[in-house]
Amino acid sequence: MSRLHIACMKVILISRRHGGSRAIELSRWSRALLSLCCLGLPLGLAASGYLAGQESGARAAASDALQRPGEQAGVASKTRQQLRALTMGLAELEARMTRLDALGEHLTAVAGLEPGEFDFSEPPALGGPGPGVPRGVPSGTGLDGDLGRFEAYLADRERQMEMLESLLASRNLERQGFLSGLPVKQGYLSSHFGWRKDPITGERAMHIGVDIAGKPGTEIVAAAAGVVTWTGRDAGYGNLVEISHGDDLVTRYAHNRENLVEAGDIVRKGDTIALMGASGRATGSHVHFEVYKNGRAVDPASYIARTHP
C-alpha cells in the first residue's frame, strides 16, 4: 500500500517567558487558508472604505437636492422684489416727466413764445441717417426699453428747459435794461417836459423833466436796471439820485425826502431807491424825473409810455 506524502510547512513559536520554542507544522490546506486570510483583510478594508465613501456622497447629493429648491425660491423672491421696485421707479419717472412737461408748457406761455417753438405736449422730434430707430431712443422691449425711452425723453426735456431758461434769462435781462413806466409806486403826472411858467418865480422857463406828484413817503423806483452814479443833496434838486443804465442812458430822481441807495449800488428795474418828498426847490411832494440820452435831456414821457419788449 502506497503512503500519501503531504509536504508540510513548519511554524516556529518562541516564548519570551520560558525562552523555549515550539514548532508547528502546517499542511498545504492550512497554508492556503492562511494566505487567503492575509490577502482578504486589506481587500475587505478597501472595499469597506469605498462603500462608505459612496454612501457619504449619496447623502451629500440628497442634502443638496433638498436645499436647491429653497435657494431657487429665494432667488425668485428677490427677483420679484427687484422687478416691483423697478416698476415703481418707472412710474415715478413718468409722473415726474408729466410734471416737467406741464412746467415747460407754463413757462412757454409765460414767456410768450411762438407756438411750436417749445412744444412740451409732444414727444421729442428725432431722426438720423440710415434705417432703424433714431439714435438716442432705445427700441428694446420690456422694462429695459421703457427705461431707455424715458431716459431719452428726459434728456430732451432737460435740453429744452436749459434753452428755455437761457432764453428767459436773456429776455429778463433785456426787460431789466428797458427804460419804461413811471418811476413811482403810486402817483400822477403833474407837470410835463418843455417850456412852462416857473412855479416859484412865475416866469417862463424850460422844464427838462417831468413832475410826478404823490403822497409824502411814496416809494420811488428805478425805471430800469443800472448802477447808481451819484446820490446826495443839491440846492435846486434837493435829495437827488442818478443812475446810469448803459448805452449812454442816465436817469435822475429829485426832491426826495430820503435817498435809500449809495453811489456804486447796482439796482434792478423796480427796486426802491428813494422816498418821495419836497426837498430842494419844490412846492409840494413829488419826484422830478429826468432822462438823458448821450448827455442830452430828452422827454421822459416817451419812455414812460413804452411797453415791455
Q: Which string of DSSP letters, residue by residue, matches 179-215?
A: --S-SBSS-EEEE-SEEEE-TTT-SEEEE-SEEEE--
Higher per-residue confidence, 186 vs 100: 186
- With respect to residue 51, please indicate whether it lies within any of the assigned structural domains: yes
CATH number of the domain at 225, please. Answer: 2.70.70.10
- Average of per-residue pLDDT values in the chain: 75
- With respect to residue 111, please indicate whether it lies within any of the assigned structural domains: no
Q: Quote the domain boundaries for residue 60.
A: 9-72
Closest by CA position to 276, among listed 265, 289, 292, 262:
289
Rounded to whole angstroms, the Cα distance separating 292 from 125 reads 49
- With respect to residue 98, please indicate whether it lies within any of the assigned structural domains: no
**What average pLDDT score do residues 93-112 get?**
69
- With respect to residue 121, please indicate whether it lies within any of the assigned structural domains: no
- With respect to residue 19, please indicate whether it lies within any of the assigned structural domains: yes
Last residue of a domain, one of 72, 90, 113: 72
For cell 447796482, what's the residue?
A: 266
3-class DSSP assignment, residue 267: strand
Highest mean pLDDT: which range of 83-92, 108-117, 136-145? 83-92
- Cα-based angle 89, 94, 95 (whole degrees, multiple of 5): 95
Task: Render pLDDT for 167-209 as a digit per residue (tens, 0 to 9).
Answer: 666 667 777 888 999 999 999 999 999 999 988 888 999 999 9
What phi and psi values does residue 116 have, to the nearest 5 degrees?
90, -10
What is the model's pLDDT at position 44? 53
Higher per-residue confidence, 18 vs 98: 98
- Which residues does residue 286 pair with via DSSP β-bridges, in sequence order? 213, 277
Last residue of a domain, one of 42, 72, 102: 72
CA dihedral of residues 265, 270, 275, 280 (deg, nearest 10): 70
Task: Render pLDDT for 38-73 as a digit per residue (tens, 0 to 9).
Answer: 544 454 555 555 555 556 655 655 555 555 666 667
Last residue of a domain, one of 51, 72, 93: 72
pTM attached to this predicted model: 0.52
The pLDDT > 70 percentage for the chain reads 57
- Contact present, 226 and 256 (Cβ < 8 Å): no
Higher per-residue confidence, 80 vs 127: 80
- Contact present, 308 and 171 (Cβ < 8 Å): no
- With respect to residue 286, please indicate whether it lies within any of the assigned structural domains: yes
pLDDT at 114 over 70: no
- With respect to residue 291, please indicate whether it lies within any of the assigned structural domains: yes
pLDDT at 224 over 90: yes
Number of domains in the chain: 2
pLDDT at 140 over 70: no
Task: Render pLDDT for 143-174 as a digit per residue (tens, 0 to 9).
Answer: 566 677 777 777 777 777 777 667 666 667 77
- With respect to residue 141, please indicate whether it lies within any of the assigned structural domains: no
What is the model's pLDDT at position 4? 40
pLDDT at 271 over 90: yes
What is the model's pLDDT at position 91? 75
What is the model's pLDDT at position 54? 55
